[in-house]
Amino acid sequence: MTRVFQVGAGSGGMPVLDLLALDRRIDHVTLVEPDVYQSHNVDRHWFPPSAVGRPKVELAREWLAERRPDLVVDVIPGDLLDTQLQDRFDAAIAHADLGVCAVDNEPAKYHFDALMRRHGKPWTLGEVLSGGIGGFVHWFRPGGACYGCVASFLKRGVEPEPETPPPDYSQPQAAIREARIPASKSAVVAIASWHACLTQALIDNPKGFDPGFTTVLVSLQKIAGIFPDMFRVHRWSIVRSPECLLCRPPDHDIAAEDLDGALHDALERLAHE
Ligand SMILES: [Zn+2]
């Protein structure tokens, strides 16, 4: 059975959670989400207007209880970056098989990545582009490219800078922005469905999972100068960057004897070539 640690029960996180919760291989979910359901959420969310004012984690818990009464659901109503909650996150992740990241801000993605790497757990990430014109799905494994490696490959900044020019989607590797322009519910759910499919494929084969990519970008609209077609898929296999300051193994001091031994071995090999 599979235990999932998910952060985000917003318009993107809730459909992922809904789809995954119907997968009976999953028997335990820990859900982290700080927000209260608001009136502007109603157009793109799973919950009705009568739910406005209630914490999203509680609404999600009730949603899951109605559909999967056997599913164990732990909720943590707080922010992933809250220093007071890190012990609870560590405890939950230590017992999880994989992570599902459905947050909409860069600091939380970087922190999620750091937590997963610390515990050696694989995870998936879904991102809807501004205006719902498309989206990304990514997966990460211990020892592979981290979110920093992927963000660097995709030429994303660590922090969104409001003064920078708009992203150039004709260059899919160019910087992207979060979905600041609201996306339609259909666009959000489309990317969430890809995110759930990817996560279920990871559950199918947790040890040897290799879908042939790290990151997929799919266009959901045809936009002149941005996406030449609707439903065009770009995919990249991204390897861990030796330069990445986030996932680079800690430098250790190499003993002088080891260096001497390595030099001796190298000279020996040269002498016999
Ligand atoms: Zn890295």
- pLDDT tens for residues 12-62? 999 999 999 999 999 999 999 999 999 999 989 999 999 999 999 999 999
**What is the 129 CA–ligand 1 centroid distance (Å)?**
23
Each domain of the chain, given as residue ranges in start order, spans: 2-271
CA dihedral 32, 35, 41, 45 (to 10 degrees): 20
pLDDT of residue 38: 95
The pTM (predicted TM-score) of the whole model is 0.84
Average pLDDT, stretch 104-117? 96
**What is the 109 CA–ligand 1 centroid distance (Å)?**
13
Bridge partner list, 2:
26
pLDDT of residue 52: 97
Among 37-41, 144-148, 174-178, which is the least confidently predicted range?
174-178
Q: Give exposure, 226-238, as e/b (b: 16+ Cβ within 10 Å).
A: bbeeeeeeeebeb
- 3-state secondary structure labels for all residues of the chain: CEEEEEECCCCCHHHHHHHHHCCCCEEEEEEECCCECCHHHHHHCCCCHHHCCCEHHHHHHHHHHHHCCCCEEEEECCCCCCHHHHHHHHHHHHCCCEEEECCCCHHHHHHHHHHHHHHCCCEEEEEECHHHCEEEEEEECCCCCCHHHHHHHCCCCCCCCCCCCCCCCCCCCCCCCCCCCCCCHHHHHHHHHHHHHHHHHHHHCCCCCCCCCCEEEEECCCECCCECCCCCEEEECCCCCCCCCCCCCCCCCCCHHHHHHHHHHHHHHHHCC
Confidence of residue 272 (pLDDT cuts 50, 70, 90): low
Pick from 24, 14, 246: nearest CA to 140: 246
pLDDT of residue 206: 86
Confidence of residue 256 (pLDDT cuts 50, 70, 90): low
Pick from 44, 174, 139, 93: nearest CA to 165: 174
pLDDT of residue 269: 58
> What is the overall mean pLDDT for the chain?
88
**What is the 11 CA–ligand 1 centroid distance (Å)?**
28
Confidence of residue 182 (pLDDT cuts 50, 70, 90): confident
**What is the 114 CA–ligand 1 centroid distance (Å)?**
10
Q: Looking at domain 2-271, which CATH architecture does it have?
A: 3-Layer(aba) Sandwich (3.40)
Q: Which residues surround ligand 1, an ion (CB under 5 A)?
A: 146, 148-149, 244, 246-247
**What is the 69 CA–ligand 1 centroid distance (Å)?**
39
Confidence of residue 86 (pLDDT cuts 50, 70, 90): very high
pLDDT at 98 over 80: yes
- Using alpha carbons, list the distances in angstroms from residue 158 to 109, 147, 161: 10, 10, 9
pLDDT at 85 over 80: yes
pLDDT at 110 over 80: yes
